[in-house]
Structure 1
Amino acid sequence: MKTVFTNGCFDVLHRGHVELFKFCRRIGDQVIVGLNSDESIRRLKGDDRPINSIKDRKMILEELRCIDKVIVFDEDTPYELIQSINPDIIVKGGDYTPEEVVGNDLAEVVIFGTIHGYSSTEIIKATSDR
């Protein structure tokens, strides 16, 4: 059984995220998503984030058929979580290179191409500019 891991904030879920999760399902048997805690997001992105609470973000992800398990982590990177899960494959979006992916020494890294026009940061920025 191949375990696939991906992670992120998934603060404003959009089509690009769903396509990423579907890709993970296509290449593996079990899909585990590491989800940044609210505190972790604040440290990484600032005090005005997240938009959606951890409770809401986790519930939405758990409802997606292509995801088997969602694990919240509070660290700034998912390295310790990846070590504990020991996945076969780590998948990240096209804004990363394999060398930049946290845990690239622990599992095979696969980069999923970015779907242009879909970015949580850009969606948040566009709605706040209105």
Structure 2
Amino acid sequence: MQDELQIGKPASKLIPIPQLADTIKQLRAQERKIVFTNGCFDILHKGHVCYLEKAKRLGDVLIVGLNSDSSVKRLKGESRPINDENDRSTVLAALEAVDYVVIFTEDTPLNLIKTVAPDVLVKGGDYAIENIVGREYAQETVTIPFVDGYSTTKTIGAINQEKQ
């Protein structure tokens, strides 16, 4: 169908927030099962990739809400992010599992989740379902366990150790 969204085309993966509602409307019209997750994804590693691949398997379309640089600084401290939002969004968009990336500036993705109203809301295994922001706007909320041994904080720590 010619009017169908071109899911998977790199140029179409980065969506500005004002365009998001129209994209969601088109996906719903196509009866796509929408999965949403979010995070900083500062230094992308195997744990992130496995997490995103598992999230994608829960539906047809994976939308990733990406914390803006200002949001990451507020959440993680002045030394973060290591990679800016343009670099992080480009790397995420290059992943096969990721269909769309939306950068948000708030500390939580609540407003984004309200807009998306995902069929499945996904967070990492360190979250208790009852504490996941926006779960009331999703049909289902799922946690995915972390891959042992992988974390951005651990990677940054190892780099800092090598500098000493």
* TM-score of the superposed pair, with normalisation by structure 2: 0.77
Give the structure with the larger helix fraction. 2
C-alpha displacement at 1:96, in angstroms? 0.8
C-alpha displacement at 1:49, in angstroms? 0.3
1:39 and 2:39 equivalent? no
C-alpha displacement at 1:105, in angstroms? 1.2
C-alpha displacement at 1:111, in angstroms? 0.6
Q: Percent identity?
A: 51
Letter in 2 for 1:111: T
Which segments of 5 or more consecutive residues in structure 1 lack a partner in the other structure?
A: none
Q: How many residues align?
A: 130
Number of the residue aligned with 1:122? 154
* TM-score of the superposed pair, with normalisation by structure 1: 0.97
Task: Report the Cα distance in structure 1 between the residues aligned to 2:88 and 2:141, rounded to whole angstroms.
Answer: 25
Report the structure number with the largest CA radius of gyration.
Answer: 2
1:88 and 2:119 equivalent? yes
Aligned-residue CA RMSD (Å): 0.7
Give the structure with the larger strand fraction. 1
Which segments of 5 or more consecutive residues in structure 2 lack a partner in the other structure?
A: 1-31
Write the deviation string for residues 49-102 of structure 1: whole angstroms up to 9, x where unpaired.
000011100000011111110000000000000001111111111111101111
Q: Which residue among 102, 109, 118 is the counterpart of 1:78?
A: 109
Number of the residue aligned with 2:143? 111
Letter in 2 for 1:70: V
